Amino acid sequence: MFASTRPAHPRGRLPDQASLRQAAATNCSADLLRELQHAHKIAVNCIQIMSPSQLMVLAQRNDRDGLLGSVDITREYERAAVIARATGSVA
């Protein structure tokens, strides 16, 4: 018989394609969550240093682009809710 030319996997078998796809999706989800968390903090920091007139311009532009949140101009609560669901924490 022919000997296998595949390298041995540490656990004795190679992961199947579904497992590889799931691992890639999990890694991508973690990257997206981390990026959303960073964007959330950046937006909060920006809002804290903006003047009232700058906030008004931001609100107008977000409204123009259909980006206004349910409560505030930065969608802070919507982002926080998504982050809370993704991390399993309480919003």
Confirm whether 41 is domain-assigned.
yes
Q: Is the CB of residue 6 less than 8 Å from the CB of residue 14?
A: yes
Confirm whether 44 is domain-assigned.
yes
How far from 49 is each of 37, 41, 42, 54, CA to CA, in Å?
A: 19, 13, 11, 10
**pLDDT one digit per residue (tens) for the chain, 91 residues:** 555 566 555 666 677 877 777 777 777 888 999 999 999 999 999 999 999 999 999 999 989 998 887 778 888 888 899 999 999 886 5
Q: Which domain holds residue 72?
A: 18-87
Alpha-carbon distance of 72 to 46, in angstroms, equals 14
Confirm whether 61 is domain-assigned.
yes
Confirm whether 8 is domain-assigned.
no
- The predicted pLDDT at position 85 comes to 92
- The predicted pLDDT at position 3 comes to 58
Confirm whether 51 is domain-assigned.
yes
- The predicted pLDDT at position 2 comes to 57
Q: How many domains does the chain have?
A: 1
- The predicted pLDDT at position 45 comes to 95
How far from 45 is each of 12, 18, 31, 38, 76, CA to CA, in Å?
A: 50, 41, 21, 11, 11
